[in-house]
Amino acid sequence: MKKIVIHRAGSFDQLKVEEHPDLKPATGEIKVTMHAIGINYADVVIRWGLYKSAKEFVGWPITPGFEFSGMVAEVGTGTTGFEVGQQVFGISLFNSYATEICVKPDQLYHLPSNMTLEEAAGFPAVYMTAYHALLQLAIIRPTDKTIVHSAAGGVGSALLQLCRIKGIETIGVVGSTHKIARAKEMGATHVIDKSTQDLWPTIKQIYPTGPDVIFDANGGESLQKGWDILSRGGKMVSYGTHTILPKESGHINYLKLATAWLKAPRFNSLNMNQRSIITFNLSFMFDRKDLLKEAMDDLIGWIDTGEIQPLAVTTYAFEDVAQAHRDLQSGKTMGKLVLVV
């Protein structure tokens, strides 16, 4: 088998394609031969050595990857529900950047008839993140007015679709004009293009009393400005720090990172003013099988009925993983990026 291994933190050249022994499923495991692997911004952060769960659970060397699709190649003893030859997709706690993987049955799902293997490989991480943020943490109401940053990206697009299902008014924020149509297609009630519009005054025009929920993967200044305009009782859901990390360079500028960290907003119970902040990293929730099952049961049901749709995917050859990371890091992409074996 082949897998992509990172031996130490660094730039794109740290993504090494290596030969390793073929896997054998243990009792209660299923071996899947990969067809496609979803790429997430978390994988970029792992490459930089900044992803907390990667440092805590694995260390170096590490094979990134949280989602995949392919075909059942072998079923370990004591395992039911899947047969050799079935098309499947699934989730993992790292190790998906490989040509095969062994997982437990509760990490695996049968491929819906209206999804391709490429689409399925890019489905679980962003939709489960969106579901957890929207329906298991923020617990929004139909009258809530929301802001979704990076609205044409993976999690942003998923959030817009889930908000549309729940009948919630949304502002989708995008960073360039060519992303406006995608945000509208995904369900945004309003779209603000930061490249041509003054973001925060425009938000105040649309929501004079402020948004009730903000979904923010940017961090930094965006987090503070969003916090300042929240409505009374409003919620800030923070799940990333994209704006303080490099877009072009493969290396971290630690001086710039430290400066951004010092400028980051600080929160304490004395100045919350009837507002709240929620932060999470879904990889730390991997052992909460009840929450993961609830999310995937609903999400697959909505896929089956057509209420949500898989995101458009851009495919890369397995060996072109460095270019895929470069493109994702740039912030210019839309939908999902997927490696194809």
Residues 143-149, mean pLDDT to the nearest whole number: 97
pLDDT of 251 above 90: no
* Segment 64-86, tens digit of pLDDT: 999 999 999 999 999 999 999 99
> Residue 273: its pLDDT value, please?
76
Residue type, 205: Q
8 Å CB contact between 227 and 252? no
pLDDT of 117 above 90: yes
Crossing angle of helices 124-131 and 289-305, in 10° steps, is 110
Q: Which fold has domain 126-283?
A: Rossmann fold (3.40.50)
Q: Which residues pair with 159 in a beta bridge?
A: none
pLDDT-derived band of residue 241, with 50, 70 and 90 as boundaries? Answer: confident
Q: How far apart are the first and last CA of the chain?
A: 11
Nearest to 133 by CA among 60, 235, 61: 235
Helix (H, G, I), strand (E, B) or coil at 177: helix
pLDDT-derived band of residue 332, with 50, 70 and 90 as boundaries? Answer: confident
**Hey, how many other C-beta atoms are within 10 angstroms of the C-beta on 272?**
11
Q: How far apart are CA 151 and CA 131, in angstroms?
A: 15
Lowest mean pLDDT segment, chosen from 3-12, 38-47, 256-265, 283-292 = 256-265
pLDDT-derived band of residue 257, with 50, 70 and 90 as boundaries? Answer: confident
CATH architecture, domain 2-123+310-340 = Alpha-Beta Complex (3.90)
pLDDT of 329 above 90: yes
Nearest to 176 by CA among 335, 333, 313, 336: 333
Residue type, 240: G
8 Å CB contact between 275 and 234? yes
Helix (H, G, I), strand (E, B) or coil at 142: coil
* Segment 158-184, tens digit of pLDDT: 999 999 999 999 999 999 999 999 999
pLDDT averaged over every residue in the chain = 94
Q: What is the 3-state secondary structure (H, E, C) of 71-121?
A: EEEEECCCCCCCCCCCEEEEECCCCCCECEEEECHHHEEECCCCCCHHHHH
Which pair of structure tokens corresponds to residue 226? 């969003």
Which pair of structure tokens corresponds to residue 205? 């025009």
Domain segments of the chain: what residues? 2-123+310-340, 126-283
